[in-house]
Amino acid sequence: MGETGTILVEVFFQTISYWWVIIPTIFLGLIVGGVPGFSAANTIIILMPLTLAMDLETGLIFMVSLYCAARMGAGIPAILVNIPGTAGAAATPLDGYPMTKQGRGQQALAMTFVASSLGGLLTTVIALATMPVLARVGFYMHSVEMIVVMLFGISLIASIAAQDMVKGLIAGFLGLMIGSIGTDVVYATPRATFGFLELYDGIPLIPALVGLFAVSEAFVIIEKRLIITDDARKAMATPSWHATFEGASIALKRWWHIAWTSVIGLIIGVIPGAGASIASFVAYQQSRSFSKTPEAYGTGHPEGLIAPESANNGVTSGTLVPLLVLGIPGGATAAIMLVVMQFHGVSFGPSLFENNPKVGYGMFMAMAVSYLFMMFTILPLSRYMSRVTTVPTIYLAPMIISFTLVGAFVPREYMFDMYLALAFGVLGYVARRTGYHVAAILIGVILGPLLERYFLWSLKKSDGDIMVLFSSTLGNVLWVCLALSIVLPIWFETRRKRREIVIQ
């Protein structure tokens, strides 16, 4: 065993000895991730005086454990009551919530816990082994390449539109239009703000997220007695561990699916500013495009739940790579970690792993150990968490609206954001009642502004030459991959239908 191997083993056992920090932090992270508007980033900011008072090793383990658990926790309300805790969990309800309505909430939670833990653990190991290579991804991913990455996620609108082309595309374009509200990137000219200063920075994401999903869902379920069907309620009347083991087994059988979708999250996580929302949408789109049963997505398909949850947990390790190797934070939480580490006098770059290897390797080891602990501490809770769905909607709907409005208020502390969440709730309710898919609207709201920003940056650098979009070798490879991911599924489906006709 080499010197690096010896250090890794030593750091592993040293991290395990901090179980008294990791386990309580995991449960705190679950709560933080499950409440819309809260996240690991703003929680660490609130607790920063405590974090700075800790010694460096304890503080880093605390922040990393909270980060991982919050990412996983965001998927719990997304599955049970159609409320993504963060934008990174926005794709989770597409198949997670239909499973809950079928009475398979316990199974869905078990699947997402296993997929998240394995995805996060696998990508942490890969990041640890390939750190120098991954660190260079950020140098090659410029505005042109990012445009193609955005289009991978936005093409999911077309997949959703396949069920009803006109309504799907209308919903997607509506989302893109809403996303364009704010000041334009080049001249900072207000667009469609109607004089509201609160909209100058664009549509705030959390109010849009909780309004379209949570508030609109509360309006829908209040018309019913329970979220789940009567048959599903009868099936859940007798508590059993069977559904938990069944969900875990389903996820483990799809280990390869967990592996490649989590790697998507890892690569996107390395790109500063990309984030878990992009990773989850891209992973879901790729999973659906190359599935043998794409029509099953959106109806409670296991792979439709596994893909975004594996990807958004793969992002966690990716964000640490540019932070430690280049000193460039990959996201908001990593930026706060940067502040804490600088306070303790930590220097970044390749020299970190030579001069202070226990800090560099320790953060990845803390992440790996956190995911290991989560697999055994959180999985048994799926049996009890799923009981939320048996609460009558007359109590559940007001609770959902109350929590989500508070969540809409928290990020910016504007009353305006609470009214905005209600407005998006009404929009989402009308969309659901008229057959439009709220997920298509949300994709436009999230990815539209990012696509515009990178597109205008590209044009600005090329003096308005549109061909700059095809000026990069890596970008051209990504364009080919995007075309294949759209064309190949159509070709496979056409060939399958021809075979069926021949057999008949």
pLDDT value, residue 426 = 94
Give the pTM: 0.87
What are the C-alpha distances in Å from 381 to residues 85, 104, 155, 385, 457? 18, 15, 36, 6, 47
C-alpha to C-alpha distance for 245 and 106, rounded to whole angstroms? 10
Is residue 79 within 8 Å of 306, Cβ to Cβ?
no
C-alpha to C-alpha distance for 32 and 46, rounded to whole angstroms? 12
What are the pLDDT tens digits along the chain (504 aa)? 566 778 888 888 999 999 999 999 999 998 888 877 677 888 888 888 888 888 889 999 999 999 999 999 999 988 988 888 788 888 999 999 999 888 888 999 999 999 999 999 999 999 988 877 776 776 677 788 888 888 888 888 877 766 677 888 888 889 989 998 998 877 778 888 888 889 988 899 889 988 998 889 888 888 787 777 666 666 666 667 888 999 999 999 999 999 999 999 999 888 876 778 889 999 998 898 888 888 889 899 999 999 999 999 999 998 888 888 777 777 778 888 888 888 888 877 767 777 788 888 889 999 999 999 998 888 888 888 887 877 888 888 888 888 888 888 888 889 999 999 999 999 999 999 998 888 889 888 988 888 888 888 888 888 888 888 888 888 898 899 888 887 877 787 777 777 777 766
DSSP state of 346: P
pLDDT value, residue 291 = 86
pLDDT value, residue 62 = 93
C-alpha to C-alpha distance for 358 and 8, rounded to whole angstroms? 8
Helix (H) / strand (E) element for 191: namely: strand 190-191
What are the sequence ranges of the domains in the chain?
3-503
- Residues 6 or more apart in contact with residue 165 via CB below 8 angstroms: none
Long-range residue pairs from 137-142, CB within 8 A, at least 24 positions apart, any chain: 137/267, 137/270, 137/271, 138/270, 138/271, 138/272, 138/322, 138/326, 138/328, 140/474, 141/271, 141/474, 142/472
Collapsing DSSP to helix, strand or coil, 300 comes out as coil
C-alpha to C-alpha distance for 297 and 2, rounded to whole angstroms? 47
**Of 350, 344, 343, the residue nearest 326 (C-alpha):** 350
Is residue 445 within 8 Å of 178, Cβ to Cβ?
yes
pLDDT value, residue 256 = 95
C-alpha to C-alpha distance for 403 and 436, rounded to whole angstroms? 25
DSSP state of 348: P
Residue 417, Cβ density class (10 Å: 0-12 exposed, 13-18 middle, ≥19 buried)? buried
Residues in the chain: 504
Three-state SS annotation for 436-471: CCHHHHHHHHHHHHHHHHHHHHHHHHCCCCHHHHHC
pLDDT value, residue 372 = 92
pLDDT value, residue 232 = 64
pLDDT value, residue 42 = 80
Q: How many Å from the N-terminal Cα to the C-terminal Cα in the chain?
A: 62
Collapsing DSSP to helix, strand or coil, 183 comes out as strand
pLDDT value, residue 335 = 82
